[in-house]
Amino acid sequence: MDQITIKDIARLCGVGVSTVSRAINNHPDINEETKQMILDTIRKYNYVPNNSARNLKRSDSKTIAVLIKGISNPFFADMIQVFEREISRKKYSFVLQHVEEDEDEVDVAIQLEKEKRLKGIVFLGGLSSHTDEKMKQISVPFVISTVDAPSLKRKYASVTVDDEKESFRMTEYLLECGHKKIALLAAARQDASIGLMRVKGYKRALEQHGIPYDEGLVLYTEGQPTYSMESGYAMAMRLLQSGKEFTCIYAISDSVAVGACKALFNAGKKIPDDYSVASFDGLPMTEYYEPSITTMRQPRKEMAEATIKLLFDLIRKKPVEFRQVYEAELVVRQSTKRIR
Amino acid sequence: MDQITIKDIARLCGVGVSTVSRAINNHPDINEETKQMILDTIRKYNYVPNNSARNLKRSDSKTIAVLIKGISNPFFADMIQVFEREISRKKYSFVLQHVEEDEDEVDVAIQLEKEKRLKGIVFLGGLSSHTDEKMKQISVPFVISTVDAPSLKRKYASVTVDDEKESFRMTEYLLECGHKKIALLAAARQDASIGLMRVKGYKRALEQHGIPYDEGLVLYTEGQPTYSMESGYAMAMRLLQSGKEFTCIYAISDSVAVGACKALFNAGKKIPDDYSVASFDGLPMTEYYEPSITTMRQPRKEMAEATIKLLFDLIRKKPVEFRQVYEAELVVRQSTKRIR
DNA sequence: TTGTATGCGTTATCAA
DNA sequence: TTGATAACGCATACAA
């Protein structure tokens, strides 16, 4: 007998399947003794209920799915823990669903919603392009966390920082330090999501401070994965080799900054004496790097908590602030200094 | 109509459900025209088959699950990609299942196996304690990847490095550099898995080189998460404050080393001039840190490939080498130097 | 408090 | 090439 089912247990216990079901699901209307007896034989025979059958039968389920594109992105690391904690605190179960690079997260959401009878969905990462028509097929509440794509603006519930504004602030800080030639190490050229927003903030700050925008100082990822140390290293190398003058590097993300720092070091440069370096996101590694890196810290844990709170408010049909924008924190550290 | 089912599609098309099923599943015995017609209405009505029902009905399924404990561990980042690629290359589908910290991965495996009719399982991380009896309940082939717990030895299919041996090699290298007082920043004191193995290798190397083992030079994580930068920082601080003499720090993992480096820097020390620092695993960050960190690189991608190959050989009942041990590579970088 | 019977949405068998 | 129909394993309404 390969698969042991609820029927087998019922037979072994000499009871009906519904009684076994009651024992499994902690129903109140069951005799305590028979319940124990059933639970014992279940343990004895290592019976494990088939989840597909349960999901199929059940109409509700109290489970929340978190869909992540780029699951090994360190940015998500501590957020996942918060999701896990907050969701189980609400007595819901938590499904972490990895979305492959070439997969459409909305398709995954639609499928998973039916399969697991989800009560709510969190989207983390990805989701830069999508059609409204598809989004409409998701029939449970969902929250977009941490992704600030302009196309999503004001349409769906979300918890983000204002990437454009915070990037503006960072650039402004660097300008106030006296830097006039700030190289920007960006994401891919065709990026339409946070990568683009951060570039925009950079440009606007330059403009507002009367610094002409110099295309030669803006580098885009070519070949390497975006937001990687590898890519930061390569871009900084290209920058150095271009002969372009600059006094500061502003990297679009922390990993990129780390890669860029290493390129500078390998070229015999000092940070911040020869060049200042700043970045965006505020991952732990920026604190432990030497020199520690000035960065724009996103309040990841608070945002994760707010995401879950927003999602549950949506589920419970409470009035909500649909689009929540958090402030990032400019963390000034050793990698930047005033010049002139 | 909330949930649209295969019956609805059948009715809409004026055909039987089995014909719709045939269209969905690319069965050969169906008229091409009716198939197209069905597919069109499916698209039109955004019908998505319910996976729970499919899983319930199907007996086979060609899917492999990878169970990960500690999904945001950077060690797994590129391995996940390899799993994804290799599994889909074999025309199997890939399920990445996150296992929560306090969850038993074997329980998860047993459940998932039934739910999704798995063909095979990969265990990544965790799995340090378990009972044979439970493992026996897993009735499909599985491979333990990257975890080298002594209790698992020679029992189950696995792909690992020999943590004890490689830790021995690293320690021996440091000894050959002239270091006699090598501080070890370890995992938790009660660790019985790779943490313990690496400590053992360290001890054996000392012994073999006639260096007395000094308990005061071995620090264990207290409070912080193991294998974290935070923990490395705290341990190095404790070490410095203890007043113990040492010339070298050997950290049990790369993150710990990074944390330790920062503690040294904050104390005004130079690396490697004042202290050498070495670590284990060979993550990308060791290459980008300044100074770059000497480490014992595990061939993660090769191991991930080997894991999948082994799993499929098991599935296809080919003769296999049950326990595959890979060599780590000593990568000497800037953080260590010869002394005396 | 318990058991029987029905159906959840599919796939697969079989007969047409 | 098609369509009824019987499972898949479980939860639950209802009867007992």
Check whether A188 has a pLDDT greater than 70.
yes
Per-residue confidence (pLDDT) for residue A126, from 0 to 100? 79
Q: Does A18 touch chain B (CB under 8 A)?
A: no
pTM of the predicted protein model: 0.94
Residue B160: closest CA among B136, B143, B182, B138: B143
Q: Cα distance from A289 to chain B (closest Cα, Å)?
A: 7
Query: Which pLDDT belongs to residue B132?
Result: 82
Q: What is the pLDDT of residues A200-213, one digit of tens each?
A: 999 999 999 999 99
Asked if pLDDT for residue A153 goes beyond 70, the answer is no
Least Cα distance to A256 among A206, A309, A304, A191 occurs for A191
> Among B330, B218, B339, B226, which residue's Cα sits nearest to residue B279?
B330
CA-wise closest residue to A111 among A124, A125, A97: A97
Q: In 10 A of CB B201, how many CB atoms? A: 23
pLDDT in tens, A312-340: 999 999 999 999 999 999 999 999 999 97
Residue A219, beta-bridge partner list: A185
What mean pLDDT comes out for the span A38-49?
95
Q: How far is A111 from chain B (nearest CA, A)?
A: 7
Write down the pLDDT at residue B59: 81
DSSP A215: G
- Condensed to tens digits (0 to 9), the pLDDT of residues A96-106 reads 999 998 899 99
Q: Does A55 touch chain B (CB under 8 A)?
A: yes
Q: What percent of chain A has pLDDT over 90?
A: 89
Mean pLDDT by 10 residues, chain B (340 residues): 86 95 93 94 95 92 94 94 96 95 93 95 85 88 86 81 97 98 96 92 98 97 95 98 97 98 98 98 98 98 98 96 95 95
Asked if B261 is an interface residue toward chain A (Cβ–Cβ < 8 A), one would say yes
Cα separation of A96 and A70, whole Å? 12
Q: In the predicted model, what is the mean pLDDT of chain A?
A: 94
Nearest protein residue to nucleotide C1 (CA to C1' distance) is: A30
Q: What is the mean pLDDT of residues A66-82?
A: 95
- Rounded distance in angstroms from the CA atom of residue A104 to the C1' atom of nucleotide D4: 37
With an 8 Å Cβ cutoff, are A115 and B230 in contact?
A: no
Element spanning B207, H or E: helix B194-208
**Are B146 and B124 contacting, i.e. CB atoms less than 8 angstroms apart?**
yes
User: 3-state class of A276 per DSSP?
Assistant: strand
pLDDT of amino acid A2: 67
> pLDDT-based confidence at A10, cuts 50/70/90?
very high
Q: What per-residue string of b and e applies to B300-335 under the rule 16 or more CB within 10 Å gives b? A: beebbbbbbbbbbbbbeeeebeebbebebebeebbb
The set of residues, in sequence order, having a beta carbon less than 8 Å from that of B9 and lying 6+ positions away, is B20, B38, B41, B42, B45, B47
